[in-house]
Amino acid sequence: MSINQQDFTYVQTLVRQKAGIIIDDGKEYLIELRLKPVAIKNGYENVSGLVQKLKEHSRHNGTHEQVIEALTTNETSFFRDLHPFEVFKNVIVPELIEKNAATRTLKIWSAACSTGQEPYTIAMILRDSFPQLAHWNVSILATDLAGKVLDKARSGVFSQLEVNRGLPALMMVKYFDKQGDSWIIKEPLRKMIVFRQLNLLEHWSGMHTMDIIFIRNVLIYFDVEAKRSILKKVRELMKNDSFLLLGSTESLINVTTDFNNVRHDKTFCFKRKF
Amino acid sequence: MVRCQLVTVTPRRRERYGNHQLQLPDLLPEKERYMKAMVIDDSRAMRTILMQMLSEIGFDVSGAGDGKEALKLLEDCKECPDVALVDWYMPEMSGLDFVKKVREQSDFDKLQLMMVTSESEMARVVEALEAGANEFVMKPFTKDVVKEKLEILGIHAE
Ligand SMILES: C[S@@+](CC[C@H](N)C(=O)[O-])C[C@H]1O[C@@H](n2cnc3c(N)ncnc32)[C@H](O)[C@@H]1O
């Protein structure tokens, strides 16, 4: 049985309000496909039953969270698109090491970190190429909306399929242990990262200025107002020398003129305008 | 005068030049030179899969059934491949021995070697890297996995 129009609209509005995620009209099949397992897990025969429950408990509860998680895309990989991470290593970090020499601090934020491949990639590069940072105050904050992906990220446990994707063999050997079928991030690397839940659409509490902000492959899910309001807050966390990195297929054209882009070959980095 | 050569019709070439038997000038400008990959695997099925993937990614591909045959091909061929994808367990000469043999010869300094194997133990990965392999792909894999790993080696077929 396919989801009815009323239920579809309800779910569409719910994920838009809570997560800013746009599900286009006509994507009934997608909602049906993704929510069926959630319905069954919660003891309902079909998606209708689940939506009924959502409506009855409109205040925050576990079911809402499960529905939102089921409808967000968590696709990610180590060294995703590779080139931005080469720019990070060859341009961004060296430049910041020079500029921040007096304070010896480097603050990095991976917003929408999904299952952790992005912040772990950042940590591996820092460890591997910048031994001098051992004497610095380096922080990597990794946040996401979804508790489930954060739990996995925190655990640092990855499958063969996941380490096969984009992770250089040398990095695998240096920074992972293998236990059974799992590949586990080594403790010192795991300790470099603080994982925390944060909804990009809500008020950001406890955030400080950042040197590098990764917001990759998440803004694409939001409408233009949501993008603008997030980028406005991002801008406030940036200093003169801070960098912003988006996904390789994302741009700020028609969204905001608050940033200058600096191009390095095929990667665009953004700096705030003053 | 434009001299011509017959070339394999890869999907990408078909896209670029149309769907007919191709005659291309053999002095292709630098950017038009196709990257070359060699697949070394004793399983014909696996070889076919990998060769198909690589050709879709945009490589000129060749294949060999074991390390010995591959070495012979390498020694004979005028233009060395840019990368060889090497299985571990093969008759005649194992993938690991092939890697060691290739690394003994300075002629193949520029050849990148990528193990593609069902081996997935850390010790095997270390062994392969120490022998001189540049990358390591675990079976099963997808085209994206292969493509990403080749990009790590700085090999972009497009
Ligand atoms: C496709 S993943 C991108 C992961 C990683 N940044 C990358 O580029 O590989 C998108 C992530 O955004 C998260 N997300 C979706 N809406 C969000 C929101 N409103 N606030 C924070 N994170 C959100 C999802 O949970 C998901 O993990």
DSSP string, B60-75: EEEEESSHHHHHHHHH
Quote the pLDDT of residue A50: 93
Assess if residue B79 is contained within a domain. Answer: yes
d(CA A81, CA A77): 9
Look at A1-10, B58-67, B113-122 and tell me which has the smallest mean pLDDT.
Answer: A1-10
Residue of B99, B118, B152 to mutate, testing the A interface (most A Cβ within 10 Å of its Cβ): B152
Decide: pTM greater than 0.90.
no
Tell me, yes or no, whether B22 and B77 share the same domain: no
- B26 DSSP 8-state letter: S
Quote the pLDDT of residue B89: 95
Average pLDDT over every residue of B95-107: 95
Judged against a pLDDT cut of 80, whether residue B12 lies above it is answered with: no
A164 with B141: Cβ contact below 8 A: yes
Tell me, yes or no, whether B49 and B125 share the same domain: yes
B136 with A172: Cβ contact below 8 A: yes
Look at A61-65, A134-138, B4-8, B53-57 and tell me which has the smallest mean pLDDT.
Answer: B4-8
Tell me, yes or no, whether B74 and B29 share the same domain: no
Distance B8 CA to ligand 1 centre (A): 42
Question: Residue written as tokens 């990257």?
Answer: B35
Percent of chain B with pLDDT over 70: 80
Look at A117-121, B17-21, B79-83 and tell me which has the smallest mean pLDDT.
Answer: B17-21
Of B158, B7, B156, B8, give the one whose Cα is nearest residue B82: B156
Q: Which residues of chain A have a CB within 8 Å of the CB of B120? A: 160
Average pLDDT over every residue of B6-16: 48
The answer to whether residues B157 and B136 touch, using CB atoms and an 8 Å cutoff, is: no
Assess if residue B68 is contained within a domain. Answer: yes
Q: List B85's β-bridge partners, or say none.
A: B39, B114
Q: C-alpha dihedral over A157, A161, A162, A168, to 10 degrees?
A: 110
Tell me, yes or no, whether B23 and B82 share the same domain: no
Say if residue B140 is preceded by a cis peptide, omega within 30 of 0.
yes
Average pLDDT over every residue of A99-127: 98
Domain count, chain B: 2
Residue of A77, A85, A164 to mutate, testing the B interface (most B Cβ within 10 Å of its Cβ): A164
Q: C-alpha dihedral over A15, A19, A24, A30, to 10 degrees?
A: -60
Length of chain A: 274
Contacts of A256 (CB under 8 A, 6+ apart): A227, A228, A231, A232
Convert the pLDDT of each residue in B49-62 to its tens digit.
999 999 999 999 99
**To the nearest whole number, what is the mean pLDDT of chain A?**
94
Candidate from A79, A165, A169 with C-beta closest to B136: A169
DSSP notation for A33-66: HHHHHHHHHTT-SSHHHHHHHHHHT-SS-HHHHH
Convert the pLDDT of each residue in A161-202 to its tens digit.
999 999 999 999 999 999 999 999 999 999 999 999 999 999
Convert the pLDDT of each residue in A20-58 to its tens digit.
888 888 888 989 999 999 999 999 999 999 999 888 876
A24-55 exposure pattern, b = at least 16 Cβ within 10 A, e = fewer: eeeebeebbebbbebbeeeebebbbebbebbe
Judged against a pLDDT cut of 60, whether residue B10 lies above it is answered with: no
Tell me, yes or no, whether B40 and B103 share the same domain: yes
The whole-angstrom distance between A248's CA and the closest CA on chain B is 15
CATH no. of A83-272: 3.40.50.150
* CATH architecture, domain defined by A5-70: Orthogonal Bundle (1.10)
Tell me, yes or no, whether B77 and B133 share the same domain: yes
Judged against a pLDDT cut of 90, whether residue A18 lies above it is answered with: no
Q: Please work out whether the CB of residue A73 comes within 6 Å of at least one atom of ligand 1.
A: yes
Judged against a pLDDT cut of 90, whether residue B29 lies above it is answered with: no
Of B144, B90, B11, give the one whose Cα is nearest residue A75: B144
Query: For residue A81, what pLDDT band results from cuts at 50, 70 and 90?
Result: very high
The answer to whether residues B29 and B52 touch, using CB atoms and an 8 Å cutoff, is: no
Average pLDDT over every residue of A214-237: 95
Q: Convert A63-125 into a string of H (helix), E (strand) and C (coil).
A: HHHHHHHHHCCCCCCCCCCCHHHHHHHHHHHHHHHHHCCCCCEEEEEEECCCCCHHHHHHHHH
* Full domain range(s) for residue B142: 34-152
Assess if residue B158 is contained within a domain. Answer: no
d(CA B101, CA A77): 34
Give the helix/strand (H/E) hosting A142: strand A137-144
Q: Tell me the backbone φ, ψ of residue A182, rounded to 5 degrees.
A: -100, 150
Tell me, yes or no, whether B13 and B79 share the same domain: no
B148 with A170: Cβ contact below 8 A: no
Tell me, yes or no, whether B9 and B29 share the same domain: yes
Distance A144 CA to ligand 1 centre (A): 6
Tell me, yes or no, whether B15 and B41 share the same domain: no
CATH number of B100's domain = 3.40.50.2300
Distance A142 CA to ligand 1 centre (A): 11
Q: C-alpha dihedral over B87, B90, B95, B97, to 10 degrees?
A: 180
Q: Tell me the longest C-alpha to C-alpha distance in chain B.
A: 56
The answer to whether residues B52 and B44 touch, using CB atoms and an 8 Å cutoff, is: no
Contacts of A127 (CB under 8 A, 6+ apart): A175, A188, A189, A192
The whole-angstrom distance between B135's CA and the closest CA on chain A is 6
Convert the pLDDT of each residue in A111-121 to its tens digit.
999 999 999 99
Judged against a pLDDT cut of 50, whether residue B3 lies above it is answered with: no
Quote the pLDDT of residue A252: 95
B136 with A82: Cβ contact below 8 A: no
Convert the pLDDT of each residue in A82-97 to its tens digit.
999 999 999 999 999 9
Q: At what angle do helices A5-19 and A62-71 cross, to 10 degrees?
A: 90
Query: For residue B5, what pLDDT band results from cuts at 50, 70 and 90?
Result: very low
Q: Please work out whether the CB of residue A216 comes within 6 Å of at least one atom of ligand 1.
A: yes
> Which tokens sit at B68?
């010995």
Domain residue spans of chain A: 5-70, 83-272
Q: Tell me the backbone φ, ψ of residue A15, rounded to 5 degrees.
A: -70, -25
